[in-house]
């Protein structure tokens, strides 16, 4: 997985968004439990989690479409929760675009400008200029007279963005912006969105359940589970140092085994090594990525594994093996196999960077 270079956003720049102790329940179902996090000015923050983790609820709280039961939201120092939706000036892009179906693309984009109070309303020619500029920005020139139903998913998504940007929002909120698009369009739009963000310079919060998207796009990632914030950090931090087994599992493929830490040594089945720094004592769960392993001959050191299947998966090779009777799926970057690995052979494998969590 590739990461964008870590930008120097964290310490120096000033706080834009502060979320403190937000809780929200629907009837007896708690959607958010005491969530606190901050976003810096012009930061691109991802809310990542499986469905039901509360990420969309949190986004809607920021937009003002849901009211939290407890907690505080400040934006630029201002109490955001006391502001009604229409005065928050956030640009929200909805999962299903929420374009106005009876308006053309131009009318859609201009909507936020034309509904302004008379005193704040730009003149007709100003609106026209602004809309034209936005059409250019989202690369939809020539489609201005179309209705939403005459556009493809990717085009609708870009209109939705133009709509949100038209009001010159203080903050951009995106709810699963690429959820309904196919993989190809998705990757294209992803790059484009990041460039757009960097050019527009707006603090952006976006919700996704796709870890690759979050790690690829965001300056920082907030990982939620069951309404709680599990970890917050740069893509590198959360990927390299997942705080919990859940985060490790959620951010990529995972192999897990039971082990024991005693006196600075980690023991897993017949393999012993130095325990990672800060590892808990006693029975532990050991996690490692299926492609972060070293292979050794059967008389070497490591976990005894029996290879029973090898298959090419695109650029990678999948190696099916059995460790202590349990099937495990490993990965090597192709095209050639690691030396000494073949179907039916016994090998030793050594996890290169195991993560150790107390068995809970």
Partner 1 sequence: MTAAAIPTRRRRDLNLAPLMILASAAVMAGLILMPLVVVFHDALAKGVGAYFAALKEPDALAAVRLTLLVAAISVPLNAVFGVSAAWAISKFEFRGKSVLLTLIDMPFSISPVVSGLVWVLLFGAQGLFGTWLIDHDVKIIFATPGLVLATILVTFPFVARELIPLMQQQGADEEAAALTLGASGLTTFWRVTLPNIKWALLYGVLLCNARAMGEFGAVSVVSGHIRGLTNTLPLHVEVLYNDYDSVGAFSAASVLAGLGILTLVLKSVLEWRHSGELSANRKH
- Residues contributing to the site for partner 1 (CB under 8 A): 63-65, 85-92, 94, 96, 98-102, 111-112, 115-116, 147-149, 163-164, 166-167
| Least spacing, CB of residue 86 vs partner 1, in Å | 5
How far, in Å, CA of 302 to CA of 169, rounded? 55
**Cβ closer to partner 1: 64 or 233?**
64
**Cβ closer to partner 1: 39 or 113?**
113
| Least spacing, CB of residue 27 vs partner 1, in Å | 10
| Least spacing, CB of residue 294 vs partner 1, in Å | 51
Question: Partners of 288 in the beta sheet?
Answer: 255
| Least spacing, CB of residue 167 vs partner 1, in Å | 6
> For the chain, how far is it from start to end, CA to CA, in angstroms?
29
The strand pair at 316-323 and 326-333 is best described as antiparallel
Contacts of 14 (CB under 8 A, 6+ apart): 40, 41
| Least spacing, CB of residue 190 vs partner 1, in Å | 22
| Least spacing, CB of residue 71 vs partner 1, in Å | 20
| Least spacing, CB of residue 174 vs partner 1, in Å | 12
**Cβ closer to partner 1: 65 or 337?**
65
| Least spacing, CB of residue 186 vs partner 1, in Å | 18
**Cβ closer to partner 1: 175 or 219?**
175
How far, in Å, CA of 265 to CA of 275, rounded? 5
**Cβ closer to partner 1: 137 or 167?**
167
| Least spacing, CB of residue 108 vs partner 1, in Å | 10
Q: Do 234 and 220 meet the contact criterion of CB atoms below 8 Å apart?
A: yes
Closest by alpha carbon to 196, among 91, 87, 97? 91
Q: Nearest 5°: phi and psi at 127?
A: -60, -45
**Cβ closer to partner 1: 100 or 308?**
100
Question: Partners of 73 in the beta sheet?
Answer: 19
352: left (phi over 0), alpha (psi -120 to 50) or beta: alpha
| Least spacing, CB of residue 44 vs partner 1, in Å | 19
Q: Do 202 and 172 meet the contact criterion of CB atoms below 8 Å apart?
A: yes
**Cβ closer to partner 1: 87 or 198?**
87
Closest by alpha carbon to 312, among 288, 277, 337? 337
Q: Do 140 and 154 meet the contact criterion of CB atoms below 8 Å apart?
A: no
DSSP 8-state symbol, 253: -
**Cβ closer to partner 1: 70 or 115?**
115
How far, in Å, CA of 346 to CA of 270, rounded? 14
Our CA dihedral for 90, 179, 105, 119, rounded to 10 degrees, sits at: -10
How far, in Å, CA of 330 to CA of 316, rounded? 10
**Cβ closer to partner 1: 91 or 227?**
91
How far, in Å, CA of 195 to CA of 345, rounded? 49
DSSP 8-state symbol, 142: T
**Cβ closer to partner 1: 90 or 286?**
90
């Amino acid at each position: 997985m590739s990461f964008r270079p870590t930008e120097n956003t964290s310490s120096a720049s000033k706080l834009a968004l502060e979320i403190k102790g937000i809780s929200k329940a629907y009837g007896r179902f708690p959607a958010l439990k005491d969530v606190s996090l901050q976003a810096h000015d012009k930061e691109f923050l991802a809310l990542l989690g499986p469905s039901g983790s509360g990420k969309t609820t949190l986004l809607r709280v920021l937009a003002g479409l849901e009211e939290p039961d407890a907690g505080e939201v400040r934006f630029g120092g201002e109490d955001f929760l006391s502001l009604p939706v229409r005065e928050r000036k956030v640009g929200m892009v909805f999962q299903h675009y929420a374009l106005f179906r009876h308006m053309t693309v131009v009318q859609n984009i201009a909507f936020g400008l034309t509904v302004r109070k008379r005193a704040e309303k730009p003149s007709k020619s100003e609106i026209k200029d602004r809309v034209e500029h936005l059409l250019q920005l989202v690369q939809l020139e020539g489609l201005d007279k179309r209705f939403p139903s005459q556009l493809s998913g990717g085009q609708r998504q870009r209109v939705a963005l133009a709509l949100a940007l038209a009001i010159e929002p203080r903050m951009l909120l995106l709810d699963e912006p690429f959820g309904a698009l196919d993989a190809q369009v998705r990757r294209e739009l992803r790059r484009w969105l990041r460039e757009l963000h960097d050019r527009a310079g707006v603090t952006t919060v976006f919700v996704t359940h796709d870890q690759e998207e979050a790690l690829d796009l965001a300056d920082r990632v907030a990982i939620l589970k069951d309404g709680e914030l599990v970890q917050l950090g740069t893509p590198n931090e959360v990927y390299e140092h997942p705080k919990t087994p859940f985060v490790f599992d959620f951010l990529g493929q995972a192999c897990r085994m039971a082990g024991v830490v005693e006196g600075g040594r980690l023991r897993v089945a017949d393999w012993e090594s130095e325990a990672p720094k800060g590892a808990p004592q006693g029975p532990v769960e050991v996690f490692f990525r299926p492609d972060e392993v070293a292979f050794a001959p059967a008389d070497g050191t490591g976990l005894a594994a029996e290879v029973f299947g090898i298959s090419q998966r695109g650029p990678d090779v999948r190696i099916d093996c059995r460790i202590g009777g349990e099937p495990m799926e490993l990965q090597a970057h192709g095209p050639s196999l690691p030396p000494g690995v073949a179907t039916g052979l016994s090998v030793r494998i050594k996890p290169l960077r195991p993560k150790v969590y107390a068995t809970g």
